[in-house]
Amino acid sequence: MHGLLFISLMFLLPLSSCSDQSIQEEEVIIGEDSDYPLEGTLTLPSAHQEPIPAVVLVHGSGPSDRDQSVYSYTIFKDLAQALTTQGIAVLRYDKRTYTYQDSFTEEDLLTFTVYEETIEDAVRAIEHLLNDSRIDNEKIFLIGHSQGGMLAPRIYDISENLAGLIIMAGSPRPLWEIIYDQNLDVLEDLDPDSALYETNHQQIIKEYEKAQQLADLTLEESMHETIFGLPGYYLKEMESFDTEEVLREQSMPLLILQGEKDFQVSVEKDFEAYQALLTDYDHAHFILYPDLNHFFINYQGEGKGTIEEYHQGGHVEDIVIDDIVNWINQTSN
């Protein structure tokens, strides 16, 4: 797979403490009695009238800490602290593939899926809030970012205790299609007459052709394939869940957000696909932010439109926080 780019964004930074006196943070364990207990943080307003609404944060792709630290970004920390200052509790936790990344054997990975990677722990996090008397059980929401947003309907399908879903930079498309587009974007930065371009182009086409054949493989056959560096079984199992059907048939409130300057998921192919799918559904609300990137941060400097901008730091824009809070309050009422 040399030369191909799958933007999984696995680079992590240490946690930092909160100094805002208007909020308090409690260390919690998600799935305490399970085989994979996870450390997390529940952020609560220091002064509040119980019970209060709450949000569970669900990570994007790759191993990630509870802050979803990516280069200089810590957007889950941003969301937790900003939402809590406006009266909404937030639960975030370290991802299973972050805490136990050295524990999985090659045999484990043959049948590893998004259920073990993300969904099971998200359901446990929701259950954790349901068992907290300070939280309003009828006002628990889920925010999924990137791949977490893609999986949000599946999490809701298992845990219908949610009051609504917020999908940030997600997609209803198969994951391999997004990775394919990301690789084509990388090609655009190469000299089309160079050997490097030709080598990468041929490899991308080869992986694309394998992906198109995925539907015809049995689960057992898919164990012996990799597509864009990911196990075929992982991708096939993920595609077995009909996200579009759930989105059409369920009436849960939806808030779908994306930055127009997002170069990892496409406004035309992803955000507008949600809009087309849910065009006649009053419970779905869409917001597109003109100057924001995949992490809902406004960056205008050198390296704009590349991963280089993620190194420059920044925070989730206030307008995004305000829109989320307003939507939660309106939905709750």
C-alpha span between 190 and 147 (Å, rounded): 27
294 an active-site residue? yes
Q: Out of 146, 171, 222, 266, pick the active-site residue.
A: 146
The single-letter code of the amino acid at 12 is: L
Q: Are 169 and 260 in contact (CB under 8 A)?
A: no
C-alpha span between 7 and 169 (Å, rounded): 14
C-alpha span between 298 and 304 (Å, rounded): 10
194 an active-site residue? no
The single-letter code of the amino acid at 80 is: A
Q: Count CA atoms closer than 13 A to 138's CA, side-chain side.
A: 5
Which residues lie closer than 8 Å to 312 by C-beta, 6 or more apart?
A: 72, 299, 301, 303
Q: Out of 65, 67, 262, 270, pick the active-site residue.
A: 262
How many residues are given for the chain?
Answer: 333
Instruction: Kindly list the distances between the CA atom of residue 223 and the CA atoms of 153, 154, 331, in Å, as whole numbers in the listed order.
Output: 25, 22, 43
DSSP 101: T
Neighbours of 77 (CB within 10 A): 25
C-alpha span between 155 and 164 (Å, rounded): 11
Sheet bearing 284-289, strands edge to edge = 23-30, 38-45, 89-93, 52-58, 135-145, 164-168, 254-259, 284-289
Q: Are 156 and 191 in contact (CB under 8 A)?
A: no
128 an active-site residue? no
Active site residues: 146, 262, 294
